Chain A
Amino acid sequence: MSNNTNIDVGYVAQLARLDLDEPTRNRLQHDLEAIIGYIDQLNELDVGGIEPTAHAVPLSNVWREDVAGASFERSTMLQNAPAVIDDELIKVPKVLPGEEM
């Protein structure tokens, strides 16, 4: 086993923008330590000179003709928005602390 297996779930949850209450954080800390201990077995393997596989099927990038196609109406797309302004814009809370709404 290598030294890779340290994880601070609180810190990683910050990176992933996940609010965790303390019992959840403790539970996940325990689970993740076990899981990372398990996946660390890949370090037994010598992978020198092996090409990584990013995709099951090696396809190069596929381009389409650059022509405008039909899209959805704005009103259709806004139907799923949690909050809307003037039937035109998605409303969000203030971006910076202290800023006026």
Chain B
Amino acid sequence: MSIEVKTLTVAEAAALLAAGKVTAAQLCRAYLDRVQTVDGSVKAFLKCDAERIMAAAEAADQRRAAGTPRSPYDGIPVGIKDCIVTAGETCSCASKILAPVVSPYDATVVARLKAAGFIPMGRLNMDEFAMGSSTENSAYQRTANPWDITRVPGGSSGGSAAAVAAGEVAVALGSDTGGSIRQPAAFCGVVGVKPTYGRVSRYGLVAFASSLDQIGPLAHTVEDAAIILDTIGGHDPRDCTSLPEPDCGGLAAAVAAARNGDLKGVKIGLPEEYFASESSAGVKAGVEAAIAVMKELGAEFVSVSLPHTKYAVATYYIIATAEASTNLARFDGIRYGARDQEAQDLTEVYFKTRGHGFGDEVKRRIILGTYVLSSGYYDAFYLRAQKVRTLIRRDFEAAFRQCDLLLTPVTPTTAFRFGEKKDPLQMYLADIYTIALNLSGNCGISIPAALEADSGMPVGIQLIGPALAEKQLFAVAARFEQARKEQVFTPAL
């Protein structure tokens, strides 16, 4: 039989598999067919090894036939962003410098997905080394927004968001350093989660900014995102920054418990600084409609202040680039990756390999990061930014003394067109609503809320919670998702 996968969720696929209405092989074949049909225009996948996926699907079917499936999800594919390693597959971070690299091991998140029977599917496009907000910085291809292929899917997890929105895969992993999951989720009309820093292991995630990076899911529904985060979360001895928290599951159960309930007793803060600045009319309308829906469900709204919001972008671009310039120093053409063949001595290998291997945005950030760490500038920029980071963190702590969660826009506008933001600083400023909670370590979720009247593009809202408050975050998100006016977020493609 053939199965329509375009809008299929992980939960629905699991039910079909359990009822014997579809096999994992049929399911994976249907997704691969969907990739065949639409990825010529979406270009979300850098690679997609059909043979490997079908072999894994057949193994899953055998386990199920033997009565020993690894979990209810055995045989369901998950898209993987190209900065998260899968054993035996390339991991280029959409950069030329890592083009030939094949990973000898699985990232912890991939190993945990496999242990539950999920099948890693392909390598999803991204901004080179996750540096960008439109996926235009990929060294390989331009991923299109499935809602309008003249627009960007957002970034840096643009391939992950576009693949899910286009129904090429039900769910995908991305990484979020300053909004790289939530912003593309909002642009593509899917759910995206930036977990609490330390909830998900970073072992096997190519580091961009180690104190900010987190892996998280992009999905059609809050429930699917919960299923994936339940699977990948929890302490990992291989990542010493992963939290020793024993209880990192229970999110899918929290989502189920929230269904058909109300939001009475839930206090949601609206940070005035996030509403004072210039969001487009469509974004404002979407956020206001979401607030109205949640009020009807009984949520109480209060105004709060995050007074250092205006400094978040500057603070972020100092800290993130400082960490990136250090992390990316290892890419030198010596031990792995593409080595420049013309270099005559070792120093030249470094200069030429890095000069030819990195794209402009990566160079820009390495130079900025090197500059803010260099002698004479360290105190003025890097140390000062770390102190402002403390002030930003305190802002959130004070806000969460007045409310349970915060509600904000995800982005100032809906998805923009290719080439529209040519000035790098303008691109950075568009991260204003997502960046602060990476600095503070809080968790956040982006949920589709409305379609913009004139463009028809999706508008997202962001819910932000204190560290490790994912259960409440997901419960409120799921309840909103069920009650929102616009129910269908499926591009025509």
B33 touches A (CB below 8 Å): no
Determine if B425 and A16 form an interchain contact, defined as CB atoms under 8 angstroms apart: no
Taking CB atoms, residues of chain B closer than 8 Å to A51 are 387, 390
Contact with A along B296-314 (1 / 0, CB 8 A): 0000000000001011011
Determine if B388 and A57 form an interchain contact, defined as CB atoms under 8 angstroms apart: no
CB distance from B260 to the nearest CB of A (A): 35
CB distance from B200 to the nearest CB of A (A): 12
Known: A12-B371, A50-B391. 5 other contacts (CB 8 A): A41-B314, A47-B387, A53-B393, A56-B211, A93-B343
Taking CB atoms, residues of chain B closer than 8 Å to A80 are 100-102, 104, 335-337
Determine if B360 and A94 form an interchain contact, defined as CB atoms under 8 angstroms apart: no
B252 touches A (CB below 8 Å): no
Interface with A: B41-49, B154-162, B437-445, which one?
Answer: B437-445
Determine if A52 and B337 form an interchain contact, defined as CB atoms under 8 angstroms apart: no
Asked if A45 meets B363 with Cβ closer than 8 Å, knowing A39-B314, A56-B439, A57-B441, the reply is no
Asked if A12 meets B367 with Cβ closer than 8 Å, knowing A18-B358, A62-B240, the reply is yes
Minimum CB distance partner of A58 in chain B? B441
Asked if A77 meets B104 with Cβ closer than 8 Å, knowing A51-B390, A56-B440, A92-B349, the reply is yes
CB distance from A47 to the nearest CB of B (A): 4
A95 touches B (CB below 8 Å): yes
Interface with A: B10-18, B130-138, B377-385, B452-460, which one?
Answer: B377-385
Asked if A90 meets B212 with Cβ closer than 8 Å, knowing A4-B377, A34-B425, A62-B240, the reply is no
Determine if A93 and B374 form an interchain contact, defined as CB atoms under 8 angstroms apart: no
Contact with A along B379-413 (1 / 0, CB 8 A): 01101111111110100000000000000000000
Determine if A18 and B391 form an interchain contact, defined as CB atoms under 8 angstroms apart: no
B366 touches A (CB below 8 Å): yes
Contact with A along B41-64 (1 / 0, CB 8 A): 000000000000000000000000
Pick the contact of B349: A77, A93, A96 (CB < 8 A): A93
Listed A/B pairs (24) with beta-carbon separation below 8 Å: A13-B363, A16-B329, A16-B370, A17-B351, A18-B366, A19-B354, A24-B360, A28-B360, A28-B367, A31-B425, A35-B368, A38-B313, A40-B314, A43-B384, A45-B391, A50-B387, A51-B387, A53-B390, A56-B212, A57-B243, A80-B104, A82-B100, A93-B348, A93-B349
Asked if A17 meets B332 with Cβ closer than 8 Å, knowing A32-B364, A77-B104, A82-B338, the reply is yes
**With the chains together, A8 CA to B160 CA distance in Å?**
37
Q: Which A13-66 residues sit within 8 Å CB-CB of chain B? A: 13, 15-21, 24, 27-28, 31-32, 34-36, 38-43, 45, 47, 50-57, 59, 61-62, 64
Pick the contact of A52: B237, B345, B371, B387 (CB < 8 A): B387
A68 touches B (CB below 8 Å): no
- Indicate the member of B315, B325, B355 with the most A CB atoms within 10 Å: B355
A81 touches B (CB below 8 Å): yes
**With the chains together, A61 CA to B244 CA distance in Å?**
12
Determine if B381 and A39 form an interchain contact, defined as CB atoms under 8 angstroms apart: yes
Pick the contact of A24: B212, B311, B363, B390 (CB < 8 A): B363
Pick the contact of A20: B241, B243, B355, B388 (CB < 8 A): B355
Determine if A36 and B367 form an interchain contact, defined as CB atoms under 8 angstroms apart: no
Asked if A12 meets B197 with Cβ closer than 8 Å, knowing A81-B335, A82-B339, the reply is no
**With the chains together, A17 CA to B344 CA distance in Å?**
15
- Indicate the member of A2, A17, A32, A72 with the most B CB atoms within 10 Å: A17
Determine if A7 and B371 form an interchain contact, defined as CB atoms under 8 angstroms apart: yes
Determine if A32 and B371 form an interchain contact, defined as CB atoms under 8 angstroms apart: yes
Determine if B371 and A56 form an interchain contact, defined as CB atoms under 8 angstroms apart: no
Determine if A53 and B386 form an interchain contact, defined as CB atoms under 8 angstroms apart: yes
CB distance from A48 to the nearest CB of B (A): 9
Q: Which B313-366 residues sit within 8 Å CB-CB of chain A? A: 313-315, 317-318, 325, 329, 332-339, 343-352, 354-356, 358, 360, 363-364, 366
Pick the contact of A47: B100, B212, B329, B388 (CB < 8 A): B388
CB distance from A56 to the nearest CB of B (A): 3
Determine if B351 and A18 form an interchain contact, defined as CB atoms under 8 angstroms apart: yes
Taking CB atoms, residues of chain A closer than 8 Å to B313 are 38
B467 touches A (CB below 8 Å): yes
Determine if A52 and B389 form an interchain contact, defined as CB atoms under 8 angstroms apart: yes
Taking CB atoms, residues of chain B closer than 8 Å to A31 are 364, 424-425
Determine if A54 and B366 form an interchain contact, defined as CB atoms under 8 angstroms apart: no
Taking CB atoms, residues of chain A closer than 8 Å to B371 are 7, 12, 32, 36
Determine if B386 and A43 form an interchain contact, defined as CB atoms under 8 angstroms apart: no
Asked if A45 meets B349 with Cβ closer than 8 Å, knowing A50-B387, A50-B391, A76-B104, the reply is no
**With the chains together, A4 CA to B334 CA distance in Å?**
35
Please give me the 9 A-B residue pairs with the lowest Cβ-Cβ distance, nearest first: A19-B355, A56-B441, A52-B386, A80-B336, A82-B339, A56-B197, A47-B387, A19-B351, A62-B240
Pick the contact of B325: A16, A72, A76 (CB < 8 A): A16
Asked if A42 meets B311 with Cβ closer than 8 Å, knowing A34-B425, A35-B424, the reply is yes
Taking CB atoms, residues of chain B closer than 8 Å to A16 are 325, 329, 354, 366-367, 370
CB distance from A91 to the nearest CB of B (A): 10
Asked if A72 meets B105 with Cβ closer than 8 Å, knowing A18-B351, A42-B384, A57-B241, the reply is yes
